[in-house]
Structure 1
Amino acid sequence: MIEIEFEEPNIYDCECCSNKTVRLTRFVYKDDDAYAVYYCQYTIGHKDKVVTGVISLGEWWEESVSPERVAFPFRIWTDESNYQIGLMDKEDCIWKDIEILGNMLDREVALKHKWIKEVFQLTDHIVDEDQYIIDYLE
């Protein structure tokens, strides 16, 4: 069973427009074990309503180190009736230099990775349970 620990958001002024940017840090547990971390960001008032994020899967207990993890950058947006999820290249990810996330994958490599199904299962949980993201996209 997947459980997400919701931290309070970090809110600051956007550099390009001074609107409020929201950054979220979430810790994910599977069967009570540390399983993943994800970060998301969006800016209220930007023309395009898009959430950018990264999911880091792998070993997340205290003794683990970043080479035991793999990071998948993504975007979430909506069309007229559904959430849309798309992977993106690491160069487009604002967290590309955060070593603790592990080996950050480009889109084409990520789509072939053995954990891709788990990534999309987790994004399903994000759009079902992360109220900040749900409220922003609706």
Structure 2
Amino acid sequence: MIEIEFDEPNVYDCDCCDNKTVRLTRFVYKNGDAYGVYYCQYTIGHEDKVVNGVLSLGKWWEGSTPADRVAFPFRIWANEENYQVGLMDKAECQWEDAEILGTMLDRKEGLEHVWIKEVFHITDHIVTEDKNVIEYLN
């Protein structure tokens, strides 16, 4: 069972337009154990309504290191009928240099990774449970 711990969003001024940019940090648990972390970011008022994010899965408990984790950069957007999720290359990810997340995968590597079904399972939880993401995209 997946559970997400929701912290308060961080809000600051966008560098390009002075709109408000929102950054989210979320902790993911599987069957009660630390399992992952995801970060999301979006800017209120930008023409394209897209949430950029990264999901890091692996060992997140005491004594673990970034070598125990793998990170999947992604985007979420909505069309008239539902949410869309796509992986992106690490060079497009604003957290590319966040070593704590583990090995950052490019899109092709992510789609071929053994955990890809788990990635999409967790992004399904994001679009059904993360109120900040849902409110922004709607």
| Same fold? TM cut 0.5 | yes
Count of residues in Structure 1 that have an aligned counterpart in Structure 2: 138
> CA offsets per residue over residues 6-45 of structure 1, 9 Å max, x none?
0000000000000000000000101110001000000000
> How big is the shift at 1:95?
0.2
Structure 1: 5+ residue stretches without partners: none
> How big is the shift at 1:107?
0.2
Q: What is the TM-score when the length of structure 1 is the normalising length? A: 0.99
Identity across matched positions, percent: 72
Q: Distance in 2 between matches of 1:4 and 1:110?
A: 22
Aligned to 1:14: 14
Q: Distance in 2 between matches of 1:137 and 1:78?
A: 6
1:45-60 paired onto structure 2 within 5 Å: 45-60=45-60
> How big is the shift at 1:62?
1.2
Q: Distance in 2 between matches of 1:28 and 1:86?
A: 19
> How big is the shift at 1:80?
1.0
Structure 2: which amino acid aligns with 1:65? Answer: T
Q: Distance in 2 between matches of 1:105 and 1:4?
A: 22
Q: Distance in 2 between matches of 1:61 and 1:111?
A: 26
SS at match of 2:49: coil
Q: Distance in 1 between matches of 2:64 and 2:136?
A: 34
1:40-119 paired onto structure 2 within 5 Å: 40-119=40-119
Aligned to 2:37: 37
> CA offsets per residue over residues 86-125 of structure 1, 9 Å max, x none?
0000000000000000000000010000000000000000
Structure 2: which amino acid aligns with 1:110? Answer: G
4+ runs deviating over 2 angstroms: none
Q: Distance in 1 between matches of 2:114 and 2:26?
A: 22
Structure 1: which amino acid aligns with 2:8? Answer: E
Structure 2: 5+ residue stretches without partners: none
SS at match of 1:52: strand
Structure 1: which amino acid aligns with 2:23? Answer: R
SS at match of 1:81: coil
Structure 2: which amino acid aligns with 1:96? Answer: E
Q: How well do the aligned residues superpose, as a CA RMSD in angstroms?
A: 0.3
Structure 1: which amino acid aligns with 2:120? Answer: F
SS at match of 1:75: strand
Aligned to 2:121: 121
> CA offsets per residue over residues 34-90 of structure 1, 9 Å max, x none?
001000000000000000000000000011000110000000001111100000000
